[in-house]
C-alpha cells in the first residue's frame, strides 16, 4: 500500500518506526505486540495498519533503513581518504560512533538473524558492508601494507571483533567510544598484519 502522506502523516509514520524499534529492542520482537506499540503512542490500532502492511513489514523496514543509515555515515566519514588502512580505521571509528547512538538496534539484528524471513535482509545488508571492507583490503594488499590473505575472511574477522566490542562496551557497558575505538583499531590492525601461530599446525 503506497500511500501519499501529508506532512502529519510522515511524522506519525516516523513516530511509529522509532517507537517500535525502541520496544522491539527492549523486550524483543515477539513479546512486543502491535497493541503495545499503539498504546504507547496513545493512538488507535488502526493507525498502525494505515502506515504499515504488517508487523513483519515494519520490522523489515527498520532493518533496512538502519543499515542504510550506518553505511551513509561510514561513507561520509571516509570521504576520499586515499590510504586503504586509514579508510578501514575511519570506518571502524564511524561505526562505533553509530553503534553508540543506535545501541538499541543491536538486539534487532541479533534477533533478525534467527528467523529466516528476516535473515535474508540481514545477509543482504551484511554483504554490502563486507564488500566495502574487502575492497579496502585488496588495495592494502596490493600496496603491501597488509600481507596477502583471503580478504573476505579478514573482513569478517574485523567486523566480528568490532561489533562484539561495541555490543559489550557500548551497549551493555558504558565505555567511551574513543577508548573502545582505540582498542578495536589496534586489535584489528594487528590482526590484519597477522601473528605467528603459537603452534605450527
Among 36, 61, 69, 83, binds its own copies (CB under 8 A): 83
Query: How many CB atoms are closer than 10 A to CB 126?
Result: 15
Q: Which does residue 8 touch among its own copies, DNA, none (CB within 5 to 8 A, set by kind)?
A: DNA
What sign does the dihedral 63-69-73-76 (CA atoms) show? positive
Q: Which of residues 21-60 bind DNA (CB under 7 A)?
A: 30-35, 38, 42-50, 54-56
Minimal distance in Å, beta carbon 21 to DNA? 15
Q: Which is nearer to DNA, 8 or 196 (CB)?
A: 8
Cell reading at 43: 493512538
Q: Which of 56, 62, 50, 57 is nearest to 18 (CA)?
A: 62
Q: Which of 56, 14, 17 is nearest to 37 (CA)?
A: 17
Distance CA 74, CA 68 (A): 10
Estimate to the nearest angstrom the gap between the alpha carbon of 5 and the chain centroid.
28
Q: Which is nearer to its own copies, 73 or 189 (CB)?
A: 189
Q: Which does residue 18 touch among DNA, its own copies, none (CB within 5 to 8 A, set by kind)?
A: none
| Of 6-14, 56-64, 94-102, 114-122: span binding its own copies (CB under 8 A) | 114-122
The residues of the shown chain that bind DNA, judged by CB under 7 A, are 3-6, 8-9, 12, 30-35, 38, 42-50, 54-56
Amino acid at each position: 500500500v503506497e500511500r501519499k502522506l501529508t506532512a502529519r502523516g510522515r511524522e506519525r509514520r516516523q513516530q511509529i518506526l522509532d517507537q517500535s524499534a525502541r520496544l522491539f529492542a527492549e523486550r524483543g520482537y515477539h513479546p512486543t505486540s502491535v497493541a503495545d506499540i499503539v498504546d504507547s503512542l496513545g493512538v488507535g490500532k488502526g493507525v498502525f495498519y494505515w502506515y504499515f502492511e504488517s508487523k513483519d513489514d515494519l520490522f523489515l523496514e527498520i532493518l533496512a533503513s538502519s543499515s542504510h543509515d550506518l553505511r551513509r555515515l561510514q561513507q561520509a566519514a571516509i570521504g576520499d581518504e586515499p590510504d586503504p588502512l586509514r579508510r578501514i580505521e575511519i570506518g571502524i571509528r564511524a561505526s562505533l560512533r553509530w553503534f553508540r547512538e543506535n545501541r538499541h538496534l543491536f538486539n534487532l539484528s541479533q534477533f533478525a538473524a534467527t528467523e529466516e524471513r528476516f535473515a535474508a535482509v540481514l545477509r543482504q545488508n551484511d554483504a554490502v558492508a563486507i564488500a566495502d571492507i574487502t575492497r579496502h583490503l585488496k588495495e592494502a594488499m596490493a600496496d603491501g601494507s597488509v600481507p596477502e590473505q583471503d580478504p573476505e575472511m579478514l573482513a569478517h574477522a574485523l567486523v566480528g571483533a568490532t561489533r562484539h566490542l561495541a555490543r559489550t562496551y557500548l551497549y551493555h557497558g558504558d565505555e567511551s567510544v574513543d577508548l573502545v575505538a582505540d582498542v578495536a583499531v589496534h586489535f584489528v590492525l594487528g590482526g590484519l598484519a597477522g601473528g605467528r601461530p603459537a603452534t605450527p599446525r
